[in-house]
Amino acid sequence: MLFTNARLIDPETGSDSLGWLRVENGVITARGSASDMPQDTGTTIDCHGKCLAPGIVDLGVKVCEPGERHKESYASAGRAAAAGGVTTMITRPDTTPAIDTPEALEFVARRAQADAPVNVLHMAALTKAREGREMAEIGFLMDAGAVAFTDCDHVTANTKVLTRALSYAKSLGALVLLHPQEPGLSTGAVATSGKFASLYGLPAVSPMAERMGLDRDITMIEMTGVRAHFDQITTARALPALERAKRNGLDVTAGVSIHHLTLNEMDVAGYRTFFKVKPPLRAEDDRLAVVAALRDGLIDVISSMHTPQDEESKRLPFEEAASGAVALETLLPAALRLVHSGDLSLPGLFAALSLNPAKRLGLTAGRLVPGAPADLVLFDPDAPLVLDRAKLQSKSKNTPFDGARLQGKVLATYVGGTCVYGEL
Amino acid sequence: MTFTQRHLLGIEPLHPTEITTILDLADDYVRLNRQPQKHGDALAGLTQINMFFENSTRTQASFELAGQRLGADVMNMAMQASSIKKGETLIDTALTLNAMHPDLLVVRHPHSGAVDLLAQKVNCAVLNAGDGKHEHPTQALLDALTIRRAKGRLHRLNIAICGDIAHSRVARSNIILLGKMENRVRLVGPPTLLPAGIGEFGVEVYDDMREGLKDVDVVMMLRLQRERMDGGFIPSEREYYHRYGLDAEKLSHAKPDAIVMHPGPMNRGVEIDGEIADDINRSVIQEQVEMGVAVRMAAMDLLARNLRAARETREVMA
């Protein structure tokens, strides 16, 4: 299989140039520039100058199996991922019940294998039932295939429990995802404190709660030496602490959700619950600082934080409504806003979407080099798109981008060389 | 006369001329209410439902009386005791009520924005009787009417709002209304009871009450909720009274003719000294209650006019 006339977006070398790419047996075997196009006899796909990039590795997707399959199943999430150019989903364990035993992990792995057309890897809970009291069976869970451990948005307040879990995880070489948030301050909050939340009368948390949580967690990472990734860094005041931790040689990386990169607290105006996410959307200054940190490489990963919620859990007064937004399909078009605004280059964007998360998880995906899996997304970065939430593949339609004018469209998605979305 | 609103969800959507329209009409209703024959017919034939998802005696009574005086059929629903407990969502409750063809829906809810949400789902006029920490528009309007009648104007006044501003929807609606009418608003309270981002509200902030009251025309006290007194927000009731309770000495820093207001119910000896509250030369607290009925009559009258006009337009179109 040969992709010709493709604008190859290579996050590893930072290059963005016309060329070709050969795929054999699901693996990339060769690539070259437009000048030395090979004469191939097999299947040829003319990309018509559109962008071909390593498929997105999405760290932190919630699929609602087990427990809330009416919100999202592996089949629907898989279709959504394929439509969004996501070739590897890393699922979160915050299901009902939580994925905290090897048996539960085997169940979701089997479901994913049967129903999802894209690669699926699973994270498991760090503590039993994500309650922060006893550590989960980290060793067994790793044997069953868990690629990382996290309690998601449940922050373990008990530092004794957490340091033990982190030490234990360290001894097994496990990667731990942490949610930097001071749990005392953030209890009950649904907005970021400031003029906006005060005018709307919403319970709010200071953005400093993120830095307090981050400082605490960094200290524990230093104590235990564990490999850690912060799921979402969303505030300007947290960035210096992250920068120091990296400079001091701790094995840490950080991510941010697409929503915190492209929306701010004002979007909640009119109590729009589809904009209720966790942590809450921040001030515009914070958003700009986080975009800059992403550009500078301080923040490594962009993820969808895909969180399906049905209409019943969103059509409620803001304080009572569920948090989270679906984003598998809107991740790339929304992220391209940062390219169109001149904040990021296309290779820079795909470093955060594909290469960096793959590297952090020790995957060979995320690259356009011989030997890497042919997990690819073909997209038109300029095609206009008015998003219609009814057309999303996800069972839940809780997107904040309904009716939004976006620029960028996925044309086709390949997983291991097989086309899972698109007509090319 | 201008009033184009379909609902009264807050002060924020109102234009200053609309505020003036409500207050002018309310002045007429004050006169009506002082006559032995108190009946008007502005709401004759209309159905008013009061839905209170949060306890209220005064506001609910005021709305009920306002509706009855103008000839509406008034029904009170104590929502705390009813369907909410059975797990019905707010929207389902709204749709159920909507099917009974009410014309005016008066709603109080413990969560900010809940009344806005409900208003999107019904085709009658909705009045916000207080939603969470967001707005309480009729309270701000009755305060404005009280000030206008006592001071002869509602602009270029120095007004201090004192106490628990962070948790008060009354304070928010008043800050917005008084700002729209071009007054200078001061907020006085301990930092734990001031909302975040207060510096951007276009107000002056004082944590010293004597400084905050210096030369003001109006002193507006707020109720301190019992549950805030337990050491979480202030050290104790007595320390609060010492530093922020309105007594004669603190009031002496205000203008000699400054009026004292309180939305009620009062905690005597916590946020206000009993003697000040009862001083007929300074306190307008009883007038506030009287103005409340008149302002609610005016607001419902104006909304009913718009509702009838909209329905006629629809019939003509059909």
Residue A34 confidence (pLDDT): 84
Q: How far is A53 from chain B (nearest CA, A)?
A: 43
The DSSP line for A48-84 is TT-EEEEPEEEEEE---TTT-TTT--HHHHHHHHHHH
Residue A253 confidence (pLDDT): 98
Query: Could you tell me which chain B residue has the CA closest to the CA of A320?
Result: B111
- CATH number assigned to the domain with residue range A55-360, chosen from the 4 options 3.40.630.30, 1.10.730.10, 3.20.20.140, 3.40.50.300: 3.20.20.140
Given B117, B134, B201, which is nearest A200 (Cβ)? B134
pLDDT band at A72 (very low <50, low <70, confident <90, very high): very high
HEC profile of chain B: CCCCCCCECCCCCCCHHHHHHHHHHHHHHHHHHCCCCCCCCCCCCCEEEEEECCCCCHHHHHHHHHHHHCCCEEEEEEHHHCHHHHCCCHHHHHHHHHCCCCCEEEEEECCCCHHHHHHCCCCCEEEEEEECCCECHHHHHHHHHHHHHHHCCCCCCEEEEECCCCCCHHHHHHHHHHHHCCCEEEEECCHHHCCCCHHHCCCEEECCHHHHHCCCCEEEECCCCHHHCCCCCCCCHHHHHHHHCECHHHHCCCCCCCEEECCCCCCECCCECHHHHHCCCCECHHHHHHHHHHHHHHHHHHHHHHHHHHHHHHHHHC
Residue A248 confidence (pLDDT): 96
**The overall pTM is greater than 0.95:** no
The DSSP line for B135-160 is B-HHHHHHHHHHHHHHHS-SSS-EEE
B113 contacts in chain A (CB < 8 Å): 200-202, 271, 317-319
Residue A424 confidence (pLDDT): 57
β-partners of residue A380 are A409
A198 touches chain B (CB under 8 A): yes
Residue B78 confidence (pLDDT): 78
Q: Distance between CA A89 and CA A121 in Å, rounded?
A: 6
Q: How far is B168 from chain A (nearest CA, A)?
A: 9
Weakest mean pLDDT among A160-169, A276-285, B198-207, B295-304: B198-207
Verify whether the Cβ–Cβ distance A195 to B200 is below 8 Å.
yes
Verify whether the Cβ–Cβ distance B90 to A195 is below 8 Å.
no
Fold of A2-51+375-382+399-421: Urease, subunit C; domain 1 (2.30.40)
A271 contacts in chain B (CB < 8 Å): 112-113, 116-117
A160 touches chain B (CB under 8 A): no
Assigned token pair, A257 = 């959700």
Q: How far is B267 from chain A (nearest CA, A)?
A: 23
Q: Distance between CA A332 and CA A56 in Å, rounded?
A: 9
Weakest mean pLDDT among A158-167, A208-217, A405-414, B70-79: B70-79
Residue B91 confidence (pLDDT): 87
Residue B87 confidence (pLDDT): 66
Task: Count interface pairs A-B at CB distance under 8 A.
Answer: 71
Residue B94 confidence (pLDDT): 86
A318 touches chain B (CB under 8 A): yes
Q: Distance between CA A167 and CA A163 in Å, rounded?
A: 6
Q: Is residue A266 exposed (0-12), middle (13-18) or buried (19+ Cβ within 10 Å)?
A: exposed
Q: Which residue has tokens 């301190």?
A: B224
Scan residues 231-290 of A and list those with Cβ closer than 8 Å to B: 270-271
Domain boundaries along the sequence of chain A = 2-51+375-382+399-421, 55-360
Q: Distance between CA A37 and CA B276 in Å, rounded?
A: 92
A107 touches chain B (CB under 8 A): no
Q: Is residue A277 exposed (0-12), middle (13-18) or buried (19+ Cβ within 10 Å)?
A: buried
Phi/psi of residue A53, nearest 5 degrees:
-135, 160
A202 touches chain B (CB under 8 A): yes
Residue A82 near residue A69, CB atoms below 8 Å: no
> Which residues touch B314 (CB under 8 Å, ≥6 apart)?
none
Assigned token pair, B48 = 């008013």
A320 contacts in chain B (CB < 8 Å): 111
pLDDT, tens digit, for every residue of A6-38?
Answer: 999 999 999 999 999 999 999 999 999 988 888
Q: How far is A48 from chain B (nearest CA, A)?
A: 47
Residue A343 confidence (pLDDT): 97
> Which residues touch A226 (CB under 8 Å, ≥6 apart)?
A166, A167, A169, A170, A174, A176, A220, A251
Q: Would you say residue A423 has pLDDT above 80?
A: no
Residue B85 confidence (pLDDT): 60
Q: Distance between CA A191 and CA A211 in Å, rounded?
A: 16
Query: Could you tell me which chain A residue has the CA closest to the CA of B172?
Result: A199
Given B134, B198, B201, which is nearest A201 (Cβ)? B134
Region for residue A219 given its phi and psi (left: phi exceeds 0; alpha: psi -120 to 50; beta: otherwise): alpha
Residue A42 confidence (pLDDT): 81
Residue B230 confidence (pLDDT): 61
Stretch A183-199: mean pLDDT: 94
pLDDT under 50: residue ranges of chain B: none
A196 contacts in chain B (CB < 8 Å): 197
Verify whether the Cβ–Cβ distance B195 to A198 is below 8 Å.
yes
Closest CA to A201 of B197, B191, B179, B224: B197
A320 touches chain B (CB under 8 A): yes
